[in-house]
Amino acid sequence: MSLEVIGSVIKIAEIAPNIYDMLIKTDMAYKCKPGQFANILCEGGNALLRRPISICNAGNNMVKIIFEKKGEGTKLLSEYKEGQNINMLIPLGHGFDLGDYKNPVIVGGGIGVPPLLYLAESVNNPSIFLGFRSKSNIILKDEFEKCGKTVISTDDGSFGHGGLITVPLKTHLENNKCDVIMACGPTPMLKGIAALAKEFGIPCQVSMEQRMACGIGACLVCACKTKNKDGENFSHVCKDGPVFDAAEVFFE
């Protein structure tokens, strides 16, 4: 079995400032589960390591990724053209546990939003909460609204609720049934969500991020401090995660 595949870029577009949406044709699409990621070779420049990018959606021999142009690797990736080959290790990691939840709540922030789309399409009638910096940074609004009731917040109040997404999330939890929270976003946001989940006694799954190299569990660089029955130790985002039980994670 090989996880290394060569896909083909079908479409690439900038959907918000520095946010790119790329559709890739690959016969490995059917293997991808919500919350998993691809480790992508960013060719044509000086990026040595692959870049881990979450899978936004998958199916029909297509994988969709949405990434932020931030450093050398993602800059190169943003310059890929339609028809170009793309070398990926896919699918990697341990995704969301889809369970059989009746009232799932999905919470995302910023560039942590994309991997939740595939999740939202895969669970039963989710309540969705998405936070962005500003109105111009909002992505995938229509797609999420097709999956369930979607509440949006912006840090600057230019759209939806002003301020942190945890505020409308808390109101929702106070007034509605919820049997799981599934989240991806910046660590301070995840920390706040994990605290709410604990307060309301709801299981919570969080997708973590860390600087990564191999993507398959060999190099041990993407450490995430966790605690479980064996005590505290460093788990690895690429293999043990990226999705962890929030109760087991130390949010630094």
Partner 1 sequence: MKTEVNICGIKFKNPVVTASGTYGFGDEYGQFYDISRLGAVCVKGLTLAKRDGNIPPRIAETPSGILNSVGLQNPGVDAFISDYLPRLIDKGATVIANISGNSIEDYCEMAKRLAGTKTHMLEMNISCPNVKQGGMAFGTNPDTVYEITKEVKKYAAQPLIVKLSPNVTDITQTAKAAEAGGADAISLINTLTGMKIDINTRKPILYNNIGGLSGPAVKPVAVRMVWQCRNAVSIPIIGMGGIASGEDAIEFMLAGANAVAVGTYNFVNPNACIDVINGIEDYMKKHNIDDINDIVGKVILNG
Shortest Cβ 214–partner 1 spacing (Å): 4
Shortest Cβ 128–partner 1 spacing (Å): 30
Distance of CA 32 to the CA centre of its chain: 13
In this structure, are residues 124 and 178 in contact, taking their beta carbons and an 8 Å threshold? Answer: no
Instruction: Give whichever of 47 and 138 is closer to partner 1, judged by the CB atom.
Output: 47
Q: What distance, in Å, lies between the first and last C-alpha atoms of the chain?
A: 37
Residue 46 DSSP symbol: S
Shortest Cβ 53–partner 1 spacing (Å): 15
Question: What are the phi and psi torsion angles at 134 (to 5°)?
Answer: -155, 170
Instruction: Give whichever of 3 and 247 is closer to partner 1, judged by the CB atom.
Output: 3
Q: Which of 250, 251, 244 is nearest to 96 (CA)?
A: 244
Binding site for partner 1 (CB under 8 A): 1-4, 41, 46-50, 72-73, 89, 210-225, 232-234, 252
Instruction: Give whichever of 86 and 123 is closer to partner 1, judged by the CB atom.
Output: 86
3-state secondary structure of 92: strand
Instruction: Give whichever of 2 and 60 is closer to partner 1, judged by the CB atom.
Output: 2
Shortest Cβ 222–partner 1 spacing (Å): 7
Shortest Cβ 147–partner 1 spacing (Å): 33
**What residue type is assigned to position 237 of the chain?**
V
In this structure, are residues 38 and 63 in contact, taking their beta carbons and an 8 Å threshold? Answer: yes
Instruction: Give whichever of 146 and 225 is closer to partner 1, judged by the CB atom.
Output: 225
- CA quadruple 187, 189, 190, 191: dihedral positive or negative? positive
Shortest Cβ 159–partner 1 spacing (Å): 28
CA 236 – CA 242 distance, rounded (Å): 8
Instruction: Give whichever of 46 and 60 is closer to partner 1, judged by the CB atom.
Output: 46
CA 116 – CA 120 distance, rounded (Å): 6
